[in-house]
Amino acid sequence: MNRVQRAWQRLLWMLALLALAGCANQPGLPADMQPDAHWQGKLALKVYSEPVQAFSASFDLQGRPARGELTLTSPLGTTLAYLQWDEGTATLSANGKRQRFDSLQALALQATGSDLPVASLFAWLQGREETVPGWQADLSDLPHGRIQARRTEAVRAELKIVLEP
């Protein structure tokens, strides 16, 4: 095997290990006691409103549905938004302004213009199928670091996530 083939083989093994690690949970711990998870990559969201809205950014997500933080950055590395949440409160910092919300769901709606299934995103990132009314998630390409989800009811939307190894 030449160097390039060995490098590809190592990369594929690392991706497989990351995919398995992303699915791991500590048995016996309730969801609110699970350790924080961490993901990085790129995301694109297209909302078929009038007019159509499209958004893409690099992201760094840490935490879980009950507590966490998300940083969105531009291709040039500029921080576009910083989201932080805990029980009963969520904060969005963007464009030099800081806004507080009663929930992460309300914050996500304000930040994206779409009612994203935030808690389910964490399940999907961990490779767990979770049914959400009005949404269809495709996790078939998760071993390659890709997730797609579509909102089929109300205002249609498409979410694409590409994870970094």
Structural fold of domain 3-25+37-163: outer membrane lipoprotein receptor (LolB), chain A (2.50.20)
Distances (CA, A) of 144 to 11, 12, 20, 147: 11, 9, 12, 9
DSSP label at 31?
A: G
CA-CA distance, 70 to 150, in Å (whole number)? 21
pLDDT bin (cut points 50, 70, 90) of residue 60 is very high
Per DSSP, what are the bridge partners of residue 72? Answer: 59, 81
Percentage, residues of the chain above pLDDT 90? 53
Residue where the block lists tokens 């989800």: 149
- pLDDT tens per residue, range 110-119: 777 667 788 8
Average pLDDT over residues 101-118: 81
pTM of the complete model: 0.73
pLDDT reading at 3 higher than 90: no
pLDDT bin (cut points 50, 70, 90) of residue 32 is very low
Q: Which residue has the higher pLDDT, 8 or 164?
A: 164
Q: Edge-to-edge strands of the sheet including 157-163?
A: 97-101, 89-94, 79-86, 67-73, 53-64, 37-47, 157-163, 146-151, 135-138
